[in-house]
Amino acid sequence: MTDEIVGIDLGTTNSEIAIYREGRPEVLGDGQGRIILPSMVGLSATGELLVGEEARNQFLLYPEHTVRSIKRRMGSDARVRLGDRDYTPQEISRSSCPG
Amino acid sequence: MDDSIKQALLSRFRTYLDTAEGEGGLQDDAAETADLYSLFVEVAGLRSEVRTESRLVKEALDQFRRAFDTLQSSHTAMQQELERTRAEARDQERRLLRPLLLDVIDLRDRLAAALKLAAAAQLRWQDRLLRRNPSGGETWREGLRMTLRRLDQVLLDRHVVATPLTGHPFDPRLARVVGTSVDSSVAEGTVIEEVRGGYLWDGQVLRTAEVIVSKRDVGNGELS
């Protein structure tokens, strides 16, 4: 049994992921050390899944391939189109938290 | 034969027999029995001692094995701890170095902008006519160029390299779109201009570039 606990704060605009290990909490950052991650998910022009900062980077160019503020639709029956598939808000939220 | 001689001979033979019985014969048998017994006792004792010694050696081997296992697990744990400490030290070093490198890049951007402005500055018509440069502008620009080269070398020494993006397909891992423009001469999604240069550090993004990308003409298609 591991003594590591991961907590995710899924926000409407930004999210944070923290881990509790060796008796202390630590907020995890992305590859560039940023601890505040945009709550965005997208598909690149080549069909790769983009999460957080990378999804936000392409938002102006491909808004139709980028989803943001999905938290507002959580719990509803809405379907969100991403690429050639429809997803529930819960599925999009799961993608936006890779940790 | 004379009786006295017979008696003397018998007496001497009797004496001889008495002496022989006392020194050898039964005495030898008894001694031989005593030696076999002590030999058996000795062998039994030796056997017991060998068993005891074997048990001790086995216990010692078990203890040694346990000690070796403990040592080996301690060594493994120490190796893992060492690796973890080294990785943490590396991460810590990179965390400390990252803002400094970003500051150096920012400084480089400002110097490059200053050089661009200086190059665009026009001399007054009197100075152009007399072919003179009263403020030593070219010398100053050369100084800026030298500083820029030095900064580029400092960044290169730390494996920081610029990411040339203009003319390439937009990559959301390397750049952020800050504007789009209609440009029919290039394919949609091609980087037209770098507003702010991006940099890689050991193959990982140190600074995300900010770019303007071509987009299909939808509606009026102006720069957004």
Can you tell me the ipTM of this complex?
0.81
- Contact flag A56-B176 (C-beta cutoff 8 Å): yes
pLDDT per residue over B28-67, tens digit each? Answer: 555 566 688 888 999 999 999 999 999 999 999 999 999 9
What ranges make up the beta strands (E) of chain B? Answer: 160-163, 175-181, 191-196, 198-201, 204-207, 209-214
Q: If pLDDT is split at 50, 70 and 90, which confidence band does B141 have?
A: confident
CB atoms B176 and A44 under 8 Å: no
Question: What pLDDT shows up at residue B98?
Answer: 92
Q: How confident is the model at residue B21 (pLDDT cuts 50, 70, 90)?
A: low
CA dihedral over B119, B120, B126, B129, signed as positive or negative: positive
Taking the CB of residue B178, how many other CB atoms lie within 10 A of it? 16
Give residue for tokens 């030593």: B136
Closest chain B C-alpha to A10 CA, distance in angstroms: 22
Please tell me the predicted confidence (pLDDT) of residue B221: 41
Q: Which residues of A touch B (CB under 8 A)?
A: 31-33, 42, 44-45, 50, 53-61
Cα(B20)–Cα(B12) distance, integer angstroms: 12
CA-nearest residue to B181 within chain A is A61
Calculate how close chain B gets to A77, using CA atoms only, in Å: 30
Predicted confidence band of residue B220 (pLDDT cuts 50, 70, 90): very low
